[in-house]
Amino acid sequence: MEEKILNINNKIYSNNNNTLLEIINDLNQIINYTNDNLIIKILGEAVNKMNCIINDNRKNLEIINEINKQILYKDGSKYIGQIENGLKEGKGIFYWNNGDIYEGEWKNDKMEGKGIYYYNRDPFNGDRYKGYWKDGKREGKGIYNFNNGNRYEGDYKNDKIEGKGIYYWKNGDIYDGEWKNDKQNGKGILYYHKDPFTGERYEGDFKNGKKEGKGIIYFNNGDRIMGDFSNDIPIGKHVRLTKNGEVKTENC
């Protein structure tokens, strides 16, 4: 498919150039046979613009020809893209023999810069990551769409979710906060059922993907409790504030 697209582009640029060259020849003939300075000026400007378009087309052709290089591997994998000194450098597409596809930027034979990684050769139903890469790993801002309907938007470090980011579950839950080693770690807010204002939510500390440390649970009836959490559940004494302003102490 990529080769067909490149061939079409080649034809488009070639045809455009040939057509423009024919028009330029016709205009030059008119210029040679007229004494009207205004017509000569107008047609001369048109010829110059067409020559600029032809030069731009030639540059685009050089880019296309540069991209249209291939590396075939013994295991059946294939790379189509820019190559420098025998290494993948610039923009290109890599097809793994397991069905994965990466389309984006390369540096020193590794994925680096912006790119999209499709898992299992399915851009619509499979997992995919769109974002930044460094030294062949996810690094920086990115969006990961899971085939189960979940989605993550935020920071990556050394191929792991790390930093700040938002995770959207298919059931409507949302976590907005800090991450480390692919799990919620640090300060964050967990919204239940996609409603940050009237639904229940937890605000506080997380560790290894669970509520751990100080936190507050806001209930959809207007009440809230404050205290310590461990392994996702409240522990010790908690203070409950009701929507009517009552303050109660509870043991968990």
Same domain, 211 and 194: yes
At 10, give phi and psi (nearest 5°): -60, -45
Mean pLDDT of 152-160: 98
User: What pLDDT, on the 0 to 100 scale, is given for residue 252?
Assistant: 62
At residue 69 the predicted structure's pLDDT band, cuts being 50, 70 and 90, is confident
Residue where one domain finishes, among candidates 33, 48, 65: 65
Residue where one domain finishes, among candidates 137, 166, 189: 137
Is 48 a residue whose pLDDT tops 60?
yes
Same domain, 236 and 175: yes
DSSP state at residue 199: S
Identify the CA nearest to 110 among candidates 81, 134, 74: 134
The Cα 167–Cα 102 span in angstroms is 23
Whether 152 is in a domain gets the answer yes
When divided into structural domains, the chain yields a total of 3
The CATH number assigned to the domain holding 83 equals 2.20.110.10
User: What pLDDT, on the 0 to 100 scale, is given for residue 3?
Assistant: 46
Same domain, 54 and 77: no
Same domain, 176 and 102: no
Identify the CA nearest to 224 among candidates 214, 238, 211, 213: 238
Mean pLDDT of 213-228: 90
User: What are the tens digits of pLDDT across the range 94-132?
Assistant: 999 988 999 999 999 999 999 999 997 555 567 999 999
Residue where one domain finishes, among candidates 137, 157, 182: 137
DSSP state at residue 56: H
Q: What does pTM read for this prediction?
A: 0.70
Domain span holding position 217: 148-252
Same domain, 130 and 219: no
User: What pLDDT, on the 0 to 100 scale, is given for residue 23?
Assistant: 62
User: What pLDDT, on the 0 to 100 scale, is given for residue 2?
Assistant: 44
Whether 143 is in a domain gets the answer no
Mean pLDDT of 151-160: 97
Same domain, 81 and 60: no
Same domain, 168 and 243: yes
Average predicted confidence (pLDDT) for the chain:
81
- In the chain, the N- to C-terminal Cα span, in Å, equals 62
Same domain, 77 and 48: no
The Cα 113–Cα 88 span in angstroms is 13
At residue 138 the predicted structure's pLDDT band, cuts being 50, 70 and 90, is very high
Whether 142 is in a domain gets the answer no
Same domain, 196 and 231: yes
Whether 101 is in a domain gets the answer yes
User: What are the tens digits of pLDDT across the range 73-97?
Assistant: 999 999 999 998 889 999 999 999 9
At residue 22 the predicted structure's pLDDT band, cuts being 50, 70 and 90, is low
Same domain, 82 and 38: no
Same domain, 129 and 225: no
Same domain, 56 and 76: no
